[in-house]
Amino acid sequence: MADFETPELKEYPVIPHVEVGTMAHSKPFVAKEQFQEPLGFPGELVDNWQQVAYDKMEELTGKYRSLAVFLDSCVKCGACTDKCHYYLGTSDPKNMPVARQDLFRKVYRRKFTFAGKYFPKLVGAVDLTEEVLNDWYSYFHQCSQCRRCSVYCPYGIDTAEISMAAREVMDSIGVGQKYCNEIIAKVYKIGNNLGLPQPALVDTLEGLEEDIEDDTGVTVRLPLDVKGADVLVVTPSADFFAEPHVDGLMGYAKVFHEAGISWTLSSHASEAANFGMFIGSYENMRKVALRIREAALDLGVKRIIFGECGHAWRVAYSFLNTLAGPFDFLDPKYPVPMHIMEFTHDLIQRDALTLDKSANDDMVLTYHDSCNVARASRMGPKPGGQFILPREVIKASCNHFYDMPQDTIHDATYCCGGGGGLLTDDLMELRVKGALPRMEALKHVVENHGVTHMAAICAICKSQFAKVMPYYGFQMDSIVSVHQLVSNAIVLGNKQ
Ligand code: SF4
Ligand code: SF4
């Protein structure tokens, strides 16, 4: 299946011995000119790249005070060293969060601190040489920006933010990553990550309507570009395309149908994902986010609801108002934005949906907390809502649910291994090895509780697990959408 060895699943997680340089070869394809320039980056490595990189570092540490604080405050306590799934899966010491940060910190010290300028050896400061840049490209593309390390750092140092800054510096000198930048360019040109034009969306949605009707005998609409609808649903384009994502989309449609609330998708904002965050680019993140505002204004909706996508929810929850607000034209009774899980959970609480749990009796379920939802956002009015709401929706839809071990869920959750712009085939080894801690936790509930399926609310997690689970002996279809469970259980036509 591959030219690397899949790590062995152990009964209990084991912290590996370091193996220096084992992942130094792991690098994503570099973006060509046609994927760099639409994003405002140079097409190839610029002549004076070192100076351009230093200038960018100065700009970023000045603009984002948190970045400078993170670079200045690490005391090398080591608490983060064994917290990254990529270190646990690869044994490469440069995948320890503190070592990853140090790749950036050493250059920062050399250029921007007194000690680094005059006594570089004493403080481990280095120039940004070709060799250092090579390490940056490799290891800042072995960080899924999941923030697990920051939970355990006594100072809350967020490696994700350092990794975003490093990628932005690299983009600014003409060394971008093909996967992310090609996708962002596609959003600008066509409207979504998958490059699905409006006619293809129409076809797909009509096909899904037919599937629901064949299956249930009920006509459930999946409307596109309907002016005057109450709700605009912005969802990852994977929801239009692949299993198990489409099953989730059909679930949203059934929930809206039962609630009797008019809704629409948009061909202009046919993508919830915002890869601008992965490359650390505020300008690109803003440009992608503005499409949602434009669609909401054009369609005259009253509310915006996001579908199941982890990092999209992080961008929406944490930054949408700053990037594309104010949303004072929407109905002030509802939060901006709202997650589909909040919407469905609220209906369940008000007994507005009839759910037949036995429809999911062929599955014993567990739930994977997606890192961007778990550690970079929340859901609903109460702290911890991002952990509670999805579990309550799952439990309302099925009879058999078991959580994975406590140190692998909620804010201690492990990344799927494919987040942060790493869901590309050129990083397959990293993705498989990075999934190890989650696969070990899954094995635990499989063996102890007979779990057969894992639910998630992130498009990247679902795609990543469908691909890597077979490497560990699990079926690729044992990953499901949470709204797929709702879709199976919902009894249509039962509520007024
Ligand atoms: S943010 Fe996540 S992937 Fe990056 S170093 Fe920390 S634990 Fe590892
Ligand atoms: S836990 Fe925080 S302070 Fe300690 S080594 Fe890691 S980043 Fe530095």
User: Of how many residues is the chain composed?
Assistant: 496
State yes or no: pLDDT of 18 exceeds 80. Answer: yes
pLDDT of 192:
82
How much is the average pLDDT of 15-44? 97
Residue 414 lies in a domain: no
Do residues 250 and 210 share a domain?
yes
Q: Give the number of other CB atoms < 10 A from CB of residue 58.
A: 13
Phi, psi of 339 (to 5 degrees): -95, 145
Q: C-alpha distances in angstroms, 202 versus 58, 192, 206, 226, 322?
A: 47, 14, 6, 12, 32
Kindly state whether residues 96 and 206 are assigned to the same domain.
Answer: no
Q: Find the radius of gyration of the CA atoms of the chain.
A: 23
The verdict on 303 and 393 lying in the same domain is: yes
Ligand nearest to the CA of 89: 1
Residues 169 and 190 in one domain: no
Which of the listed residues 152, 176, 200 is the one where a domain comes to its end? 176
| Among the ranges given (31-45, 108-122, 183-197), the one the predictor scored with the smallest mean pLDDT | 183-197
Q: How far apart, in Å, are the Cα atoms of 110 and each of 59, 158, 435, 477?
A: 16, 21, 35, 50
Global model pTM greater than 0.85: yes
Mean pLDDT, to the nearest integer, of 42-67?
97
Distance 87 CA to ligand 1 centre (A): 9
Mean pLDDT of the chain: 96
> Do 382 and 238 fall into the same domain?
yes
Q: Do 166 and 212 belong to one domain?
A: no
Is 5 a domain residue?
Answer: no
| Nearest ligand atom owner, CA of 146 | 1
User: Does the pLDDT at position 372 exceed 70?
Assistant: yes
pLDDT of residue 15: 94
DSSP 3-state percent helix, strand, coil across the chain (nearest 5): 55, 5, 40
Mutate to test the pocket of ligand 2, among 152, 155, 159 (most ligand atoms within 8 A of CB): 155
Cis peptide before 197 (omega within 30 of 0): no
- The answer to whether residue 328 sits within a structural domain is yes
The first and second tokens of residue 79, run together, are 């608490």
- Among the ranges given (7-11, 92-96, 391-395, 475-479), the one the predictor scored with the smallest mean pLDDT: 7-11
Q: Residues near ligand 1 with C-beta < 6 Å?
A: 83-84, 86, 97, 100, 143-149, 159-160, 163, 415
Q: How confident is the model at residue 2 (pLDDT cuts 50, 70, 90)?
A: low
Neighbours of 447 (CB within 10 A): 10
Neighbour tally for 68: CB within 10 Å: 15
C-alpha to C-alpha distance for 462 and 243, rounded to whole angstroms? 9
| 97 and 120 fall within a common domain | yes
Does 115 contact ligand 2 (Cβ within 6 A)? no
Sign of torsion, CA 207 213 219 220? Answer: negative
- Per residue in 153-163, pLDDT tens? 999 999 999 99
Please tell me the residue having the least CA distance from ligand 2 atom 5: 76
**Which of 74, 104, 146, 151 is the best mutation target for the ligand 1 pocket, counting ligand atoms within 8 Å of the beta carbon and taking the most?**
146
pLDDT digits (tens, 9 = 90+) for 152-191: 999 999 999 999 999 999 999 999 999 999 999 999 988 8
Residue 398 located in a structural domain = yes
Nearest atom in ligand 2 to 156's CA: 2
DSSP-derived letter for residue 15 is P
List all residues 6 or more positions away from 54 whose beta carbon is below 8 Å from its beta carbon.
Answer: 111, 128
Residue 195 inside a domain? The answer is yes
Residue 52 has pLDDT above 80, yes or no: yes
Domain assignment of residue 293, yes or no: yes
- pLDDT by residue (tens digit) across 110-123? 999 999 999 999 99
Residue 238: φ, ψ to 5°: -55, -30
pLDDT exceeds 80 at position 146: yes
200 shares a domain with 137: no
Mean pLDDT of 114-135: 97
Nearest ligand 1 atom to the CA of 100 is 5
Residue 222 placed within a domain? yes
Looking at the predicted structure, is the pLDDT value of residue 254 above 60? yes
Q: Which ligand is nearest to the CA of 97?
A: 1
With the most atoms of ligand 2 within 8 angstroms of its CB, the residue from 77, 87, 152 to mutate is 77
User: Does some domain include residue 157?
Assistant: yes
The domain boundary residue, chosen from 176, 205, 228: 176
Is the shortest distance between the CB of 78 and ligand 2 below 6 Å?
yes
Confidence bin at 495 (pLDDT 50/70/90): low
Say if residue 219 is in the same domain as residue 312.
yes
Q: Which atom of ligand 1 is nearest to the CA of 101?
A: 5
pLDDT of residue 3: 85
Asked if residue 244 has a cis previous peptide bond (ω within 30° of 0), the answer is yes
Residues 211 and 100 in one domain: no
Domain boundary among 146, 176, 206: 176
Q: Which domain holds residue 146?
A: 33-176
- pLDDT-above-70 percentage for the chain: 99
Q: How far is the CA of 142 from the centre of ligand 1 (A)?
A: 8
Quote the pLDDT of residue 101.
98
Average pLDDT value for residue range 383-396: 98
For ligand 2, the distance from its centroid to the CA atom of residue 253, given in whole angstroms, is 45
Do 158 and 205 belong to one domain? no
Domain count for the chain, please give it.
2
Q: Are 126 and 155 found together in one domain?
A: yes
CA distance 383 to 214: 41
Which residue has its alpha carbon closest to ligand 1 atom 3? 143
Instruction: Tell me: pLDDT of 48 over 70.
Output: yes
Query: H helices within 15-140, ranges in order?
Result: 33-36, 49-63, 65-73, 85-90, 97-112, 114-118, 130-139
Binned at pLDDT 50, 70 and 90, residue 496 comes out as: low
Judge if the beta carbon of residue 69 lies within 6 A of ligand 2: no
Has residue 12 got a pLDDT over 60?
yes
CATH classification at residue 140: 1.10.1060
Q: Is 79 in the pocket of ligand 2 (CB under 6 A)?
A: yes
Provide CB contacts within 8 A for 11, sequence distance 6+. Answer: none
CB 482 within 8 A of CB 457: yes
